[in-house]
Structure 1
Amino acid sequence: MDQLRIGHGYDVHAFTTGDHVMVCGVRIPHSRGIRAHSDGDVALHALCDALLGAAALPDIGQLFPDTDPAWSGADSRQLLARVMQRLDDGGLRPLHADLTVVAERPRLKAHVPDMRAVLATDLSLPTDRVNIKATTSEGLGALGREEGIAAHAVVLLCPRTAAA
Protein backbone atom coordinates (compact mmCIF):
# COMPACT_ATOMS: atom_id res chain seq x y z
CA MET A 1 0.00 0.00 0.00
CA ASP A 2 2.99 2.33 0.27
CA GLN A 3 2.82 2.72 -3.52
CA LEU A 4 -0.56 4.43 -3.47
CA ARG A 5 -0.59 8.05 -4.63
CA ILE A 6 -3.23 10.70 -4.09
CA GLY A 7 -3.79 13.84 -6.14
CA HIS A 8 -6.07 16.87 -5.97
CA GLY A 9 -7.08 19.14 -8.82
CA TYR A 10 -9.11 22.33 -9.07
CA ASP A 11 -10.37 24.38 -11.99
CA VAL A 12 -12.71 27.32 -12.50
CA HIS A 13 -14.04 29.03 -15.62
CA ALA A 14 -16.18 32.11 -16.13
CA PHE A 15 -19.43 32.03 -18.07
CA THR A 16 -19.81 33.84 -21.38
CA THR A 17 -22.32 33.76 -24.20
CA GLY A 18 -23.37 30.34 -25.38
CA ASP A 19 -26.00 27.66 -25.10
CA HIS A 20 -24.29 24.83 -23.21
CA VAL A 21 -21.50 23.80 -20.86
CA MET A 22 -19.37 20.67 -20.94
CA VAL A 23 -19.06 18.86 -17.60
CA CYS A 24 -17.34 15.48 -17.33
CA GLY A 25 -17.54 15.13 -21.10
CA VAL A 26 -21.32 15.62 -21.14
CA ARG A 27 -22.91 18.50 -23.06
CA ILE A 28 -25.40 20.19 -20.76
CA PRO A 29 -27.85 22.78 -22.13
CA HIS A 30 -27.48 26.14 -20.39
CA SER A 31 -28.24 29.78 -21.10
CA ARG A 32 -24.49 30.53 -21.01
CA GLY A 33 -21.29 29.02 -22.32
CA ILE A 34 -17.77 28.80 -20.87
CA ARG A 35 -14.95 31.24 -21.55
CA ALA A 36 -11.94 29.00 -22.15
CA HIS A 37 -9.21 28.13 -24.63
CA SER A 38 -10.49 24.52 -24.86
CA ASP A 39 -14.08 23.34 -24.38
CA GLY A 40 -13.82 24.59 -20.77
CA ASP A 41 -14.80 21.34 -19.05
CA VAL A 42 -13.83 22.31 -15.50
CA ALA A 43 -14.44 18.82 -14.12
CA LEU A 44 -12.14 17.14 -16.64
CA HIS A 45 -9.51 19.85 -16.16
CA ALA A 46 -9.59 19.33 -12.38
CA LEU A 47 -9.45 15.56 -12.92
CA CYS A 48 -6.45 15.87 -15.25
CA ASP A 49 -4.61 17.98 -12.69
CA ALA A 50 -5.44 15.51 -9.91
CA LEU A 51 -4.10 12.61 -12.00
CA LEU A 52 -0.99 14.54 -12.99
CA GLY A 53 -0.40 15.68 -9.42
CA ALA A 54 -0.63 12.15 -8.05
CA ALA A 55 1.90 11.06 -10.68
CA ALA A 56 4.19 14.04 -9.87
CA LEU A 57 3.91 15.27 -13.48
CA PRO A 58 3.49 18.85 -14.77
CA ASP A 59 -0.03 20.32 -14.61
CA ILE A 60 -2.35 20.74 -17.61
CA GLY A 61 -1.40 24.39 -17.96
CA GLN A 62 2.14 23.28 -18.70
CA LEU A 63 1.21 20.30 -20.88
CA PHE A 64 -1.59 22.01 -22.83
CA PRO A 65 -0.91 25.76 -22.56
CA ASP A 66 -3.60 28.23 -23.60
CA THR A 67 -0.94 30.01 -25.65
CA ASP A 68 -0.69 27.00 -27.98
CA PRO A 69 -3.20 27.20 -30.86
CA ALA A 70 -3.16 23.40 -31.07
CA TRP A 71 -5.39 23.28 -27.97
CA SER A 72 -7.85 25.95 -29.10
CA GLY A 73 -11.33 24.48 -28.76
CA ALA A 74 -9.87 21.12 -27.69
CA ASP A 75 -12.17 18.39 -26.45
CA SER A 76 -11.15 17.90 -22.82
CA ARG A 77 -11.69 14.15 -23.16
CA GLN A 78 -8.75 14.17 -25.58
CA LEU A 79 -6.66 15.97 -22.96
CA LEU A 80 -7.69 13.32 -20.42
CA ALA A 81 -6.72 10.57 -22.87
CA ARG A 82 -3.24 12.11 -23.19
CA VAL A 83 -2.95 12.32 -19.41
CA MET A 84 -4.00 8.68 -19.09
CA GLN A 85 -1.32 7.73 -21.62
CA ARG A 86 1.29 9.53 -19.52
CA LEU A 87 0.13 7.59 -16.45
CA ASP A 88 0.31 4.34 -18.38
CA ASP A 89 3.80 5.22 -19.63
CA GLY A 90 4.78 5.78 -15.99
CA GLY A 91 3.31 2.46 -14.88
CA LEU A 92 0.39 4.01 -13.00
CA ARG A 93 -3.37 3.66 -13.13
CA PRO A 94 -6.30 5.21 -11.26
CA LEU A 95 -8.09 3.25 -8.54
CA HIS A 96 -10.78 5.80 -7.65
CA ALA A 97 -11.88 9.30 -8.64
CA ASP A 98 -14.09 11.66 -6.66
CA LEU A 99 -15.23 14.97 -8.17
CA THR A 100 -17.27 17.87 -6.86
CA VAL A 101 -18.69 20.43 -9.31
CA VAL A 102 -19.73 23.80 -7.86
CA ALA A 103 -22.30 25.88 -9.75
CA GLU A 104 -25.58 27.58 -8.98
CA ARG A 105 -26.70 26.78 -12.52
CA PRO A 106 -27.03 24.69 -14.54
CA ARG A 107 -28.44 22.09 -12.20
CA LEU A 108 -26.37 18.96 -12.69
CA LYS A 109 -28.03 16.23 -10.60
CA ALA A 110 -29.93 14.69 -13.54
CA HIS A 111 -26.70 14.46 -15.55
CA VAL A 112 -24.57 12.72 -12.91
CA PRO A 113 -25.25 9.14 -14.14
CA ASP A 114 -24.13 10.09 -17.67
CA MET A 115 -21.09 11.91 -16.31
CA ARG A 116 -20.10 8.90 -14.19
CA ALA A 117 -20.44 6.60 -17.19
CA VAL A 118 -18.20 8.82 -19.34
CA LEU A 119 -15.52 9.06 -16.66
CA ALA A 120 -15.65 5.36 -15.88
CA THR A 121 -15.02 4.64 -19.55
CA ASP A 122 -12.24 7.22 -19.88
CA LEU A 123 -10.52 6.06 -16.68
CA SER A 124 -11.06 2.33 -17.39
CA LEU A 125 -12.80 1.97 -14.04
CA PRO A 126 -16.11 0.47 -12.95
CA THR A 127 -18.70 3.15 -12.20
CA ASP A 128 -18.61 2.31 -8.49
CA ARG A 129 -15.06 3.73 -8.43
CA VAL A 130 -16.09 7.06 -9.93
CA ASN A 131 -18.07 9.53 -7.86
CA ILE A 132 -19.46 12.91 -8.92
CA LYS A 133 -21.20 15.36 -6.67
CA ALA A 134 -22.85 18.62 -7.65
CA THR A 135 -23.29 21.44 -5.19
CA THR A 136 -23.85 25.18 -5.06
CA SER A 137 -22.03 27.89 -3.14
CA GLU A 138 -25.31 29.01 -1.57
CA GLY A 139 -25.26 32.32 -3.42
CA LEU A 140 -21.87 33.33 -2.03
CA GLY A 141 -19.01 34.76 -4.09
CA ALA A 142 -18.51 34.75 -7.85
CA LEU A 143 -19.89 31.23 -8.23
CA GLY A 144 -22.90 32.17 -6.13
CA ARG A 145 -23.52 35.15 -8.39
CA GLU A 146 -23.55 32.69 -11.32
CA GLU A 147 -20.40 34.16 -12.85
CA GLY A 148 -18.87 30.74 -13.49
CA ILE A 149 -18.42 27.11 -12.58
CA ALA A 150 -15.71 25.26 -10.65
CA ALA A 151 -14.67 21.70 -9.86
CA HIS A 152 -12.48 19.81 -7.42
CA ALA A 153 -11.15 16.31 -8.09
CA VAL A 154 -9.36 13.81 -5.88
CA VAL A 155 -7.86 10.62 -7.28
CA LEU A 156 -6.07 7.58 -5.96
CA LEU A 157 -3.42 5.97 -8.17
CA CYS A 158 -1.52 2.72 -7.87
CA PRO A 159 1.10 0.89 -9.93
CA ARG A 160 -0.43 -0.60 -13.06
CA THR A 161 0.52 -4.11 -11.91
CA ALA A 162 -1.07 -3.80 -8.45
CA ALA A 163 -4.18 -5.86 -7.70
CA ALA A 164 -7.38 -3.83 -7.69
Structure 2
Amino acid sequence: MRIRTGFGYDVHQLKEGLPFWLGGIQIPHTHGALGHSDADVLIHVICDALLGAANLRDIGFHFPDTDPQYKGIDSKRLLHEVVRLLQERGYQIGNIDSTVCLQLPKVNPHIPEMRRVLAEVMRVDEDDISIKATTTEKLGFVGRKEGVAAYATVLITKA
Protein backbone atom coordinates (compact mmCIF):
# COMPACT_ATOMS: atom_id res chain seq x y z
CA MET A 1 0.00 0.00 0.00
CA ARG A 2 1.22 3.46 -0.91
CA ILE A 3 0.58 6.28 1.60
CA ARG A 4 0.85 10.00 0.79
CA THR A 5 0.16 13.18 2.73
CA GLY A 6 -0.84 16.63 1.58
CA PHE A 7 -1.14 20.10 3.07
CA GLY A 8 -3.37 23.04 2.19
CA TYR A 9 -3.49 26.68 3.30
CA ASP A 10 -5.80 29.47 2.14
CA VAL A 11 -7.06 32.88 3.20
CA HIS A 12 -9.97 35.01 2.09
CA GLN A 13 -10.83 38.60 2.86
CA LEU A 14 -14.12 39.17 4.68
CA LYS A 15 -16.56 41.74 3.29
CA GLU A 16 -19.83 43.00 4.71
CA GLY A 17 -23.00 41.81 3.01
CA LEU A 18 -21.58 38.69 1.33
CA PRO A 19 -22.84 35.19 2.18
CA PHE A 20 -20.43 33.24 4.40
CA TRP A 21 -19.79 29.73 3.15
CA LEU A 22 -17.65 27.39 5.22
CA GLY A 23 -17.33 23.64 4.95
CA GLY A 24 -20.09 23.46 2.38
CA ILE A 25 -22.74 25.24 4.45
CA GLN A 26 -23.85 28.84 4.67
CA ILE A 27 -23.32 30.26 8.14
CA PRO A 28 -25.32 33.33 9.18
CA HIS A 29 -23.00 36.32 9.59
CA THR A 30 -22.76 39.98 8.63
CA HIS A 31 -19.61 39.34 6.57
CA GLY A 32 -18.72 36.74 3.97
CA ALA A 33 -15.53 35.68 2.25
CA LEU A 34 -14.56 37.42 -0.97
CA GLY A 35 -13.46 35.23 -3.87
CA HIS A 36 -14.03 34.17 -7.46
CA SER A 37 -16.05 31.13 -6.37
CA ASP A 38 -18.23 31.02 -3.25
CA ALA A 39 -14.93 31.54 -1.34
CA ASP A 40 -15.35 28.52 0.95
CA VAL A 41 -11.90 28.61 2.49
CA LEU A 42 -12.26 25.23 4.23
CA ILE A 43 -13.17 23.37 1.06
CA HIS A 44 -10.37 25.16 -0.79
CA VAL A 45 -7.69 23.96 1.65
CA ILE A 46 -9.06 20.41 1.56
CA CYS A 47 -8.92 20.50 -2.26
CA ASP A 48 -5.35 21.80 -2.20
CA ALA A 49 -4.24 19.21 0.35
CA LEU A 50 -5.80 16.35 -1.64
CA LEU A 51 -4.37 17.59 -4.94
CA GLY A 52 -0.95 18.07 -3.38
CA ALA A 53 -0.94 14.59 -1.86
CA ALA A 54 -1.63 13.11 -5.31
CA ASN A 55 0.94 15.44 -6.95
CA LEU A 56 -1.78 17.07 -9.06
CA ARG A 57 -0.74 20.71 -8.51
CA ASP A 58 -3.31 22.97 -6.80
CA ILE A 59 -6.86 24.25 -6.92
CA GLY A 60 -5.88 27.34 -8.95
CA PHE A 61 -4.37 25.13 -11.65
CA HIS A 62 -7.54 23.05 -12.05
CA PHE A 63 -10.11 25.82 -11.44
CA PRO A 64 -8.45 29.16 -12.33
CA ASP A 65 -10.04 32.38 -11.12
CA THR A 66 -9.60 33.73 -14.63
CA ASP A 67 -12.13 31.22 -15.98
CA PRO A 68 -15.68 32.62 -15.96
CA GLN A 69 -17.21 29.14 -15.58
CA TYR A 70 -16.01 29.12 -11.96
CA LYS A 71 -17.40 32.56 -11.08
CA GLY A 72 -19.58 32.10 -7.99
CA ILE A 73 -19.38 28.29 -8.23
CA ASP A 74 -20.35 26.17 -5.25
CA SER A 75 -17.02 24.88 -3.90
CA LYS A 76 -18.63 21.51 -3.17
CA ARG A 77 -18.62 20.98 -6.94
CA LEU A 78 -14.87 21.66 -7.02
CA LEU A 79 -14.29 19.22 -4.16
CA HIS A 80 -16.37 16.56 -5.91
CA GLU A 81 -14.20 16.98 -9.02
CA VAL A 82 -10.98 16.77 -6.98
CA VAL A 83 -12.15 13.51 -5.40
CA ARG A 84 -12.98 12.19 -8.88
CA LEU A 85 -9.45 13.06 -10.07
CA LEU A 86 -7.94 11.16 -7.13
CA GLN A 87 -10.17 8.14 -7.68
CA GLU A 88 -9.20 8.08 -11.38
CA ARG A 89 -5.61 7.63 -10.25
CA GLY A 90 -6.48 4.91 -7.74
CA TYR A 91 -6.27 6.98 -4.55
CA GLN A 92 -8.59 6.75 -1.57
CA ILE A 93 -8.96 9.34 1.17
CA GLY A 94 -7.65 8.11 4.51
CA ASN A 95 -8.41 11.11 6.68
CA ILE A 96 -8.55 14.91 6.74
CA ASP A 97 -7.47 17.15 9.60
CA SER A 98 -8.34 20.84 9.25
CA THR A 99 -8.31 24.06 11.24
CA VAL A 100 -10.26 27.24 10.56
CA CYS A 101 -8.89 30.52 11.99
CA LEU A 102 -11.65 33.07 12.49
CA GLN A 103 -12.66 35.59 15.18
CA LEU A 104 -16.37 35.64 14.32
CA PRO A 105 -18.74 33.94 13.79
CA LYS A 106 -18.16 31.04 16.15
CA VAL A 107 -17.58 27.92 14.07
CA ASN A 108 -17.89 25.14 16.66
CA PRO A 109 -21.71 24.92 16.60
CA HIS A 110 -21.58 24.29 12.83
CA ILE A 111 -18.87 21.61 12.76
CA PRO A 112 -21.19 18.57 12.89
CA GLU A 113 -23.15 19.79 9.85
CA MET A 114 -19.97 20.68 7.96
CA ARG A 115 -18.56 17.20 8.61
CA ARG A 116 -21.82 15.61 7.41
CA VAL A 117 -21.89 17.67 4.20
CA LEU A 118 -18.21 17.17 3.40
CA ALA A 119 -18.43 13.42 4.07
CA GLU A 120 -21.34 13.20 1.66
CA VAL A 121 -19.51 15.12 -1.08
CA MET A 122 -16.33 13.06 -0.69
CA ARG A 123 -18.12 9.76 0.01
CA VAL A 124 -16.11 9.11 3.19
CA ASP A 125 -17.10 8.49 6.80
CA GLU A 126 -17.66 11.54 8.97
CA ASP A 127 -15.11 10.05 11.39
CA ASP A 128 -12.47 10.56 8.69
CA ILE A 129 -12.95 14.35 8.78
CA SER A 130 -11.64 16.50 11.62
CA ILE A 131 -12.56 20.19 11.69
CA LYS A 132 -11.19 22.41 14.42
CA ALA A 133 -11.69 26.13 14.93
CA THR A 134 -9.58 28.74 16.63
CA THR A 135 -9.17 32.48 16.85
CA THR A 136 -5.89 34.36 16.67
CA GLU A 137 -6.52 36.06 20.02
CA LYS A 138 -7.35 39.30 18.18
CA LEU A 139 -3.94 39.38 16.45
CA GLY A 140 -3.36 39.96 12.74
CA PHE A 141 -5.89 40.18 9.91
CA VAL A 142 -7.94 37.34 11.39
CA GLY A 143 -7.98 38.99 14.80
CA ARG A 144 -9.07 42.29 13.25
CA LYS A 145 -11.95 40.39 11.55
CA GLU A 146 -10.60 41.29 8.10
CA GLY A 147 -10.24 37.74 6.89
CA VAL A 148 -10.45 34.02 7.46
CA ALA A 149 -7.66 31.46 7.16
CA ALA A 150 -7.69 27.68 7.07
CA TYR A 151 -5.23 24.79 7.06
CA ALA A 152 -5.67 21.12 6.19
CA THR A 153 -3.58 17.99 6.11
CA VAL A 154 -4.74 14.81 4.42
CA LEU A 155 -3.69 11.22 4.11
CA ILE A 156 -4.45 9.30 0.92
CA THR A 157 -3.70 5.70 0.06
CA LYS A 158 -3.26 3.67 -3.11
CA ALA A 159 -3.49 -0.11 -3.17
If the TM-score is normalised by the length of the shorter chain, which range does it land in? over 0.9
Aligned-residue offset at 1:119: 1.4
TM-score if structure 2 supplies the norm length? 0.97
User: Which runs of at least 4 in structure 1 moved beyond 3 Å after TM superposition?
Assistant: none
Which residues of 2 match residues 29-68 of structure 1 at below 5 A? 29-68=28-67
Post-superposition Cα deviations, 1:28-66, rounded to whole Å, max 9, x if no partner, equal 010112110000000000000000000000201111111
Relative to the length of structure 1, the TM-score reads 0.94
Number of aligned residues: 159
1:24 lines up with 2:47 in the alignment: no
Shift of 1:19: 4.9
**Helix, strand or coil at the partner of 1:4:** strand
1:99 — aligned with what? 98
Query: What is the CA RMSD across the aligned residues, in angstroms?
Result: 1.0
- Give the structure 1 partner of residue 153 of structure 2: 154
Which amino acid in the other structure matches residue 140 of structure 2? G
Percent identity of equivalent pairs: 48
> What's the offset of the Cα at 1:129?
1.1
Deviations 1:14-37 (A, max 9, x none): 011225311110100101121100
Which residue of the partner structure matches residue 70 of structure 2? 71
Report the residue type matching 1:24 in the other structure: G
Q: Identify the residue that residue 144 of structure 1 maps to in structure 2.
A: 143
Q: Which runs of 5+ in 1 are unaligned?
A: none
User: For residue 5 of structure 1, what is the aligned residue in structure 2?
Assistant: 4
The answer for unaligned runs of 5 or more in structure 2 is none
Contact 1:19 1:29 (C-alpha < 8 Å) held by counterparts: no
